[in-house]
Structure 1
Amino acid sequence: MPYINPHLHSLVMYLRIVVLIYPSHSHCQFVQSLLGLSFRSGVKFRFLLVLKIKMEYENKYQHVPAAKYECLLFDVDDTLYPLSSGLSKACTKNIEEFMIQKLGIEGNKVTEINRVLYKNYGTSMAGLRAVGYNFDHDDYHSFVHGRLPYENLKPDPVMRSLLLSLPIRKVIFSNGDKVHVAKVLRKLGLEDCFERVISFETLNPTNGSSTSDGEDSLKLRGLSSEILDATNCPCQSALPETPIICKPFENAFEQAFNIANINPQKTLFFDDSVRNIQTGKQIGLHTVLVGTSQRTNGADYALESIHNIREALPELWEADNKKSEGVRYSGEVAIQTSVMA
């Protein structure tokens, strides 16, 4: 059997692999002619030809710019479905009833207190806990979300098709509780469109009933005028701190990034809250304000409806991640997640 140089044999095998990977007619012709050379031909000549092919493909494929986005981060309430559904209005009503029936707050003050707590803390629950009210978080969510008109939400095949066609990771980031988020996604027909869900329980694993309150908070409990005075204070640093981790506070975003392994510089964040969008922008996210076509400070894009995503951001479908196209998830992801809750 004639001697075959092992180095030359490796080069020939490389060329055959090239034909398999890049089976265009011109490439096949070239490689076949090269493989037809006698083993007695100069090894140096063949090596230079192989090197030329290798450099050609490295130049062609290694200089493709990296995709701008690696992850899409979505809020749920009033983002994946419109405000006109009526869930937000019903949720506000339920919160005020909880404040009256469960916390004993005066009925004639409850609307204004709820407004200023939500404005300052991102969720009414976070504000109530900040000013000294202690209650079971599950009881609160059951009371506030358990009576929502979920029947107003209908399957959204347009949104489902858009999400499934996006060749990028998709993650939910909501202040809502896991039961509520699961119901919303199921009603919309989107439960298998996301890699994972970050919910209230993800960031707040300890129930509120076992958490003690600070002295400053205890002084405010049940005193409507003092609550209003404290939360209307123009100095944010004077506000009582809340034990709740939620948007729009930076620690909520930071925890979400760690949990879902998210690089904010490579992530596009969709939310209906201007304040959430502004915080997201401050910590490095690319941002999309949903529910209005008017961009505000902190918003890179503004969409009247989430359905406008393809028209506003066609580059999401041009990402160099086509291998992920059409990915569905089991729908049994660990649902862990704003309405005014």
Structure 2
Amino acid sequence: MTSFLAVQGKTSFGTSDSRGFGRVDTWVFDLDNTLYPSDAMVWPQVDERITLYVMQLYGLDGISARALQKHFYHRYGTTLKALMVEDGIDPHHFLDFAHDIDHSTIRLDVALGAAIERLPGRKLILTNGSRRHAENVAAKLGILDHFEDVFDIAAAGFVPKPERSTYERFLGLHTVDPMRSALFEDIARNLVVPHDLGMATVLVVPPVPDPFRERFEQEAVQEPHIDHITSDLAGFLEACVLPEALGQ
């Protein structure tokens, strides 16, 4: 049975079989397009920097580089993985280049910070980006101090989500019991393995379509591996997660 709940003007999705939050003691958050809204203009900058990297690496014009970048993304999951396989690039150099962005567009998110701070237990960031990028963005949002650690693409051995080995490596490194954890993520396919491992899963989608992202990356997919969907992370944490997690 499907149910819908209004959360501060947004919609959240769940089913009668959805995993709840009463048992959760470890809260795991993706970074990009999950912890910040699309109007922060973080991802468009990163995406543009990746295109520029491909242009310079192969001596291509912008249109050709963009097409190759998207081909790599769909074939390998990330452009970084493709360039490591195809050309053996230095991943650290790529990440430093891709994440050299203007952070002034990111606003302090007091509501999100307050909600994350109240979550009982541990809080971790799990990202396909770099630690430096995650820390820079989280600091601008005003939420960095609420997190115990960042598990980045380097910690994953440069094997990106949604590969099963990445989640298993994360769980092992941080001694996380998947049956007592929840993952908040913006791409539906990245929640398949976590749900299979036992995690409660929350898909975070934009309130309106983001023109800088592909359609599949932001669809509110209602599938068995997705326990909840929200377009307002702070509101969802406050109205849906915290009352259950705190036993209120």
Q: Same fold (TM over 0.5)?
A: yes
Residue 336 of structure 1 corresponds to none
Counterparts of residues 155-174 of structure 1 (less than 5 Å): 155-174=108-127
Residue 150 of structure 2 corresponds to 197
Give unpaired runs (5+ residues) of structure 1: 1-65, 205-243, 320-341
Counterparts of residues 188-267 of structure 1 (less than 5 Å): 188-204=141-157, 244-267=158-181
Structure 2: distance between partners of 1:155 and 1:178: 19
Aligned partners of 1:292 and 1:302 also within 8 Å:
no
| 1:92 corresponds to 2:42 | no
Aligned partners of 1:250 and 1:283 also within 8 Å:
no
Residue 290 of structure 1 corresponds to 204
User: Between Structure 1 and Structure 2, which shows a larger proportion of strand residues?
Assistant: 2
Alpha-carbon RMSD across the aligned residues, in angstroms, is: 2.0
Structure 2: distance between partners of 1:128 and 1:193: 34
Q: TM-score, normalised by structure 1?
A: 0.59
Higher deviation after alignment, 110-119 or 167-176: 110-119
Deviations 1:231-257 (A, max 9, x none): xxxxxxxxxxxxx31111101000000
Residue 311 of structure 1 corresponds to 239
Deviations 1:279-322 (A, max 9, x none): 32233221000125734322100010211222232312328xxx
Residue 11 of structure 2 corresponds to none
Deviations 1:34-76 (A, max 9, x none): xxxxxxxxxxxxxxxxxxxxxxxxxxxxxxxx95112111111
Give unpaired runs (5+ residues) of structure 2: 1-20, 208-219
Poorly superposed stretches of 4+, deviation over 4 Å: none
Identical columns (%):
24
After superposition, the Cα gap between the structure-2 partners of 1:248 and 1:69, relative to the gap in structure 1 and judged at 3 Å, is: same
Larger gyration radius, structure 1 or structure 2: 1
Residue 70 of structure 1 corresponds to 25
Residue 154 of structure 1 corresponds to 107
Aligned partners of 1:71 and 1:267 also within 8 Å:
yes
Offset, 1:141 = 1.3
Offset, 1:274 = 1.2
Aligned partners of 2:27 and 2:182 also within 8 Å:
yes
Aligned partners of 1:158 and 1:307 also within 8 Å:
yes
Residue 141 of structure 1 corresponds to 95
After superposition, the Cα gap between the structure-2 partners of 1:291 and 1:134, relative to the gap in structure 1 and judged at 3 Å, is: same
After superposition, the Cα gap between the structure-2 partners of 1:292 and 1:156, relative to the gap in structure 1 and judged at 3 Å, is: closer
Structure 2: distance between partners of 1:109 and 1:282: 38
Secondary structure class of the residue paired with 2:165: helix
Offset, 1:103 = 3.4
After superposition, the Cα gap between the structure-2 partners of 1:67 and 1:296, relative to the gap in structure 1 and judged at 3 Å, is: closer
Offset, 1:201 = 2.3
Aligned partners of 2:108 and 2:141 also within 8 Å:
yes
Residue 226 of structure 2 corresponds to 299
Q: TM-score, normalised by structure 2?
A: 0.79
Aligned partners of 1:79 and 1:272 also within 8 Å:
yes
Residue 230 of structure 1 corresponds to none
